[in-house]
């Protein structure tokens, strides 16, 4: 998918928070906004994954897993190692 730029205006403290959050999550501010907008789109379109993602326990588990992957704490295994 091709990308384009968008300009938005936010309070300075919110911009700083977004930058810090992105750095802590090892992602970009752009990706944060992308995921937020996609989440809005799923809700509006009634995407069934929203039901799964809205479960607080699943969301917590997913965020913990993402955090472990980004921090390098996950050991990747080959298919043969698993089976």
Burial (CB count within 10 angstroms: exposed 0-12, middle 13-18, buried 19+), residue 66: middle
Which of 63 and 16 is assigned the larger pLDDT? 16
CA 7 – CA 26 distance, rounded (Å): 22
Q: In the structure encoding, which two tokens stand for residue 5, read together?
A: 């730029």
Q: How far apart are the first and last CA of the chain?
A: 36
For the stretch 47-60, pLDDT in tens is: 556 556 667 788 88
For the stretch 5-52, pLDDT in tens is: 889 999 999 999 999 999 988 899 999 998 888 887 876 666 556 556
Mean pLDDT in residue range 67-78: 83
Domain ranges of the chain: 12-82
pLDDT of residue 12: 94
């Amino acid at each position: 998918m091709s990308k384009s730029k968008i300009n938005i205006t936010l309070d300075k403290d919110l911009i700083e928070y977004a930058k810090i959050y992105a750095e802590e999550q090892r992602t970009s501010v752009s990706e944060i906004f992308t995921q937020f907008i996609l989440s809005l789109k799923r809700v509006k379109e009634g995407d069934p994954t929203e039901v799964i993602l809205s479960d607080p326990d699943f969301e917590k588990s997913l965020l913990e897993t993402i955090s472990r992957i980004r921090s390098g704490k996950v050991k990747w295994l080959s298919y043969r190692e698993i089976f």
